[in-house]
Amino acid sequence: MRNALIVFLVAMLIWFGVTIVRLENYRYAASLGMCDQYIGLSLHRRDACLNGKETRTNWVYNLLYGLRLI
């Protein structure tokens, strides 16, 4: 039972980490003005564009910025 709880908590931490990386990448791309050509035209296209942008060189930086460690 204890091992199952540890596995569950580690899985939740990984899931939260992936979500933080994705959201920080989206936030930073929006703050840099990437995909501004879609403002007013289609928010769906802008959202898809921002989700596809790679803003930093490694996902670790997005995680650290998202957690406000750097």
What is the pLDDT, as a whole number, of residue 5?
A: 97
**Residue 25: inside a domain:** no
Mean pLDDT, to the nearest integer, of 43-64? 93
49 located within any domain: yes
- Structural domain of residue 55, as residue ranges? 31-70
> Is 69 within the bounds of a domain?
yes
Model pLDDT for residues 11-40, shown as the tens digit of each residue: 999 999 999 999 999 999 999 999 989 888
Exposure b/e, 15-53, CB count within 10 A at least 16 = b:
eeeeebbeebbbebbbeeebbeeeeeeeeeebeebbeee
Stated pTM of the model: 0.85
How many domains, the chain? 1
Domain assignment present for 9? no
